[in-house]
Amino acid sequence: MAKIKQNSYVLFFYNDSKKWLVKISKNDQLHTHIGVMKHGDAIGKEYGSRLVTNKDKYVYLFEPTIHDFVMKMQHGTQIVYPKDLGYIVARTGITSGQKVVEIGTGSGSLTSFLAGIVKPRGHVYTYDVEPKFMKIAEKNIKKAGMSKYITMKEFDFKIEKLVHVLVQNEFSDIECTEQILRHIEAREGKTRHSFRGIGHTTYLAYARKSFFDKKPAKKSTRVKTKTVSKKKVYSSKK
């Protein structure tokens, strides 16, 4: 297991509802209802080790996954949650090395997740119409360590009547879904479905490009977009 250093990200895990994602800074402390934890005490420990708070409570020092970054990220918008992220990748078949275009960066949850899949040779090009959300997304993407695999641009995509436009542009296998997630409470002798669940978070729409006939379409039905100035390109690519 890797060791925790200055500036490492660590998930201080007490239980499923009490966990804190922290960037280690030697002189900082984390104050919580289960006690105070000194960042300095985590330095040099292996991910997965335990730390004791001043109230004698144990927390585990986990290496954050992309799921942790997504769940703890600053929300400027509604985000795409992990339950939907996995299905999107399974349904679209996105794999390492691919180039992906995303419309609606929002808070950068899906963007970070997709970058984690396509990296190190693939890239995500993401567009949003709202600069204030893009600033938040930029911070979240940086925190998740995905900046160099993502290019962000401010752009207004005029997409309306999605299914109609997809059919017009010769897409097939069109599917619109939403995912519902329900936990199982696994306890000896009394395992049961949880009464808690996550219902609606987002609608998902999928389609595959197909060719209805062999001749290219005479008239383009492309959606019109406005031009963006260079100034509005947010890219942390070196």
Ligand X SMILES: C[S@@+](CC[C@H](N)C(=O)[O-])C[C@H]1O[C@@H](n2cnc3c(N)ncnc32)[C@H](O)[C@@H]1O
Instruction: Tell me the per-residue interface mask from 143 to 162 with ligand X, x by CB under 6 A, - otherwise.
Output: ------------xxx-----
Q: Verify binding: residue 228, ligand X, rule CB under 6 A.
A: no
Taking alpha carbons only, the member of 228, 226, 222, 64 closest to residue 134 is: 228
Stretch that binds ligand X, among 28-36, 77-85, 174-182, 230-238 (CB under 6 A): 77-85
What is the nearest approach in angstroms of ligand X to the Cβ of residue 97?
Answer: 22
What is the nearest approach in angstroms of ligand X to the Cβ of residue 108?
Answer: 5
Q: Verify binding: residue 177, ligand X, rule CB under 6 A.
A: no
CA–CA dist 39, 18 (Å, integer): 17
Cis peptide bond prior to 120, omega within 30° of 0: yes
Q: Which 3 state secondary structure label does DSSP give 192?
A: strand
Q: Verify binding: residue 79, ligand X, rule CB under 6 A.
A: yes
What is the nearest approach in angstroms of ligand X to the Cβ of residue 58?
Answer: 33
Q: Verify binding: residue 234, ligand X, rule CB under 6 A.
A: no
Map tokens 């297991």 to a residue: 1
On the 0-12 / 13-18 / 19+ scale of CB atoms within 10 A, 59 is buried
Residues 98-137 interacting with ligand X (rule: CB under 6 A): 103-104, 106-110, 127-130, 133
Contact residues for 28 (Cβ-Cβ < 8 A; gap 6+): 22, 38, 39
Residues of the shown chain interacting with ligand X in the complex, contacts defined by CB under 6 A:
77-80, 103-104, 106-110, 127-130, 133, 155-157
